[in-house]
Amino acid sequence: MKLVVLTGAGISAESGLKTFRDSDGLWEGYNFYDVATPEAWDRNPELVQNFYNERRRQVLAAQPNLAHKLLAELESNFHVEIITQNIDDLHERAGSTKVTHLHGVITKSQSCKNASLTYLIDGSEIEMGQLCELGSQLRPHVVWFGESVPMIEYAAQLCQNADVFAIIGTSLAVYPASGLIDFVPKSIQKYIIDPKTPDVKRYNNIFNIEDTAVNGVEKLKNILLNAN
């Protein structure tokens, strides 16, 4: 059985990583237009680089929580494909082997000239003046607002082939990730884990688990194992 899971910031919140935007609309005190757009990079690359260097340090200091670990454990019983909107690597560190990052992963850098040229970062920082093989400045391997999402078509194919689908810790507010549920077969069971269930009234076979990611994934695991 193929279990496809879409995760968002809520699954990493219990590892101490803040969700993308706080209630005031800011991300770590910054307007996202100033740190998460190509225009911000063109305007002030040093500010953007420093911002993501700090986010990377936070990610490296964080540890996978039980929700990440339980999803990894489900690979013993199911074919598990994780699609994540998160730029952290906590799913991989928890042991998940099939993880698709829609928005990049902060532990890598990429070329400014060719986004497909990516590199593992040695340490926690990308320095200004650090160049790719084409001679352009390295930047965070993060999909910014206004940029294409190169993995979205592959993620949509995974959703089309799901036998069970789960959404964990996302409000389904960020496009195009929010549209992935539209590719999931109407007939299959869909689980949504979040303290506040997003608006999914138009979809069939929805089972809501209004809880934190850790508690919710524990419940989901028990449901799936008992049904298997």
Catalytic site residue 103? yes
- Please give the Cα distance from 147 to 143 (Å, whole number): 6
* 166 has pLDDT over 90: yes
Give the H or E element holding residue 36.
none
Residues linked to residue 192 through DSSP beta bridges, in sequence order: 167, 208
pLDDT value of position 9: 92
Q: Which amino acid is at 28?
A: E
pLDDT of 201 above 80: no
**Strand-pair category, 2-7 with 79-84:** parallel
Q: Of these residues, 91, 101, 103, 141, which one is catalytic?
A: 103
* Chain centroid, CA 189 distance in Å: 22
Is it the case that residue 200 has pLDDT exceeding 70? yes
Q: What is the pLDDT of residues 69-86, one digit of tens each?
A: 999 999 999 999 999 999
pLDDT tens by residue, 41-100: 999 999 999 999 999 999 999 999 999 999 999 999 999 999 999 999 999 999 999 999
Q: What is the dihedral of CA 74, 173, 198, 153, to 10 degrees?
A: -40
H/E element, 10: helix 9-13
Tens digit of pLDDT for each residue in 5-25? 999 999 999 999 976 655 555
Domains and CATH numbers, the chain: 1-17+64-103+149-228 (3.40.50.1220), 18-61+106-142 (3.30.1600.10)
